Structure 1
Amino acid sequence: MMAAAELAENTEQYWKNGYTVLRGLYSADEIAAFRAECDRLWSLDGLDDDLNLRTEFRRGPDGRFVFDRLDPVLDISPPLNGAATHPALMDALGTILGGSAEILKAKLIRKEPGVNGYAAHQDFLYWKWLDTDPDALCTVVVNLFPSDEQSGGIGFYRGSHQRLLPGPPENPEGDFDPAQLDPSTIEVPALDAGDVLVFHSLAPHFSGPNNSDRPRTVLLPSYCVTDEAGLYQRYYKREVVRRCKEMVGFERYFATLDSVESA
């Protein structure tokens, strides 16, 4: 349990900057157990199946596709479910958000050395369909190893979480153009194993490539202050339909087909 004064400071930082870092929520033994669980998950049969809707691939440093994430993950991992619902974390989120938080979604990402990061975006853009106040939504990053700019840690435009930013003229409903924000406000928090990054659904954020010599492994559950039951199930029922309709996650499968057709 975090001290009240420390949590009050975290809450002030969250609403001022759009993010904050919680420390001391997990013990060293718990973090070691989460790491061991990630190793187990990464060795499961079927994860490298191109048509597995739970997995996703990205281009690695040699141009080949590498296994990038498990999404969803909590339903196949009791230890990581325990991490995402840890009493100390849930108590802290309740204080920061001002209400009882329910899990919306959760994914496990492992960014291998040399793998690129993610372009600047706001999570709320993809959650507008929930018809929920963006202040009620946040994402948590449970760091299982040290994370910084070198390893492709998440960067934020500090204090730019007041509104949903418009996309470029050619795609006004898409992700915003980073040129409209002040680059001097960018901060990439340096985090230790076990540190928990919490950020607002409107916080503009991005990540760079992993230029370190170790994978960057993080658990990313998202939460919503709501009285609605079954929010997690509702999210993933919709997500499965979306992925099938838009062929999301099938990039490696299509690349394989293209190579066969051109042979």
Structure 2
Amino acid sequence: MMTTLSTTRPDLDALADTYDQQGYVLVKGLLSKEEAAEYRGRSHELIASLDRGDDPTWDAAADVAMGQATSLQHLHDAQFYDAAFTRLLTDPRFTSVAAAVLRTPNVQLHHSKMFIKPPENGSPFPPHQDHPFFPHTHHRVAAAIFHFDDAPEVKGCVRIAPGSHTAGPREHDPQGSFHLPDFPVDQLEPMEAEAGDVLFFTYLTVHSSGVNVSDEARTTWLVQFRDPADPPLTDQHNHSLGQGLILAGSDPTGRAGQA
């Protein structure tokens, strides 16, 4: 059964306990429907105005889509193009949950990325952990996916393998795509969400997403964040603008996000 928490009765300790046990928690209604609609509009305007013609679809996505061609639109670091996203990064509704799941008052930005899955053939993601892209010493790294419109299963919602984080880092495909081709798909549960919901999960949690076969786009904003006291093990993925920005609390190390 999907584990969720409503922000109408915020219990951050209970949320953190669920996150520790399951590797994720879906927070319902963190944003209002009106706010989500506003961010959806801004997202589509930004991507339309800044379209650089690149498509981040993984080669392995063809396996998930059973060979059919799919497409995906994305934008790194939306907060550098629209101040509304900068404000959202430090919104206490978000940072209070982020601090709770990390179990520290200090929350540091790693990177952000906007995704729009186009209707009818929006690209999927095969099962993977985020860990191999930017491994850290103590694994206090997490993601938050803001849903700016409804994400039912037919729109290719995120799928989570509950409890999969407890196995730690896994051996990924060595060819550079970092997916888990042999992971049992029946362990992945669809995280259907509504506009305004935010899905939090650790970077050790195995997750994927399906193809958007609906007649509407699926619009999300991914924010990767960490405990600033958790040192990165490599210099991978250190190119994102704004990496090291403190979203809540302070940086006790003085590294300012440097590897």
The one-letter amino acid of 1:218's match is T
Question: In structure 1, what is the equivalent of residue 51 of structure 2?
Answer: 48
The runs of 5 or more residues in structure 2 that have no matched partner are 1-5, 242-259
Q: Give, in whole Å, the separation in 2 of the partners of 1:56 and 1:178.
A: 21
Residue in 2 aligned with 1:155? 159
Conserved in 1, the CA contact under 8 Å of 2:77 and 2:113?
A: yes
Tell whether 2:99 aligns with 1:94. yes
Residue 177 of structure 1: aligned partner: 180
- The structure 2 residue matched to 1:104, chosen from 107, 110, 115, is 110
Structure 1 unaligned spans of 5+: 241-263
Residue 17 of structure 1 aligns with which residue? Answer: 22
Partner of 2:214: 212
For residues 164-204 of structure 1, the C-alpha deviation after alignment (integer angstroms, 9 at most, x for no partner) is 11135xx388635343x444432111111000000101001
**Is residue 125 from structure 1 mapped to residue 132 from structure 2 by the alignment?**
yes
Gap change, CA 1:67 and 1:209, over 3 Å in 2: closer
* Aligned equivalents of 2:101, 2:152: Cα separation in 1: 24
The CA RMSD measured in Å over matched residues stands at: 3.1
CA contact (8 A) 2:25 2:199 kept: yes
Q: Given residue 204 of structure 2, which amino acid in structure 1 is its aligned partner? A: L
8 Å CA contact 1:7, 1:92 repeated in 2: yes
Is residue 238 from structure 1 mapped to residue 239 from structure 2 by the alignment?
yes
Give the 3-state SS of the residue equivalent to 1:91 in structure 2. Answer: helix
Deviations 1:96-123 (A, max 9, x none): 2111211110010000021220111110
AA aligned opposite 1:117: P
Given the alignment of the two structures, is residue 193 of structure 1 paired with residue 195 of structure 2, yes or no? yes
**Higher relative helix content:** 1
Letter in 2 for 1:48: D
Distance 1:167 1:92 in 2: 29
How many residues are aligned here?
223
SS of residue in 2 equivalent to 1:116? coil
Classify the secondary structure of the residue corresponding to 1:221.
strand
2:28·2:196 contact (CA, 8 Å) conserved in 1?
yes
**In terms of Rg, which structure is larger?**
1
TM-score computed with the length of structure 2 as normaliser: 0.75
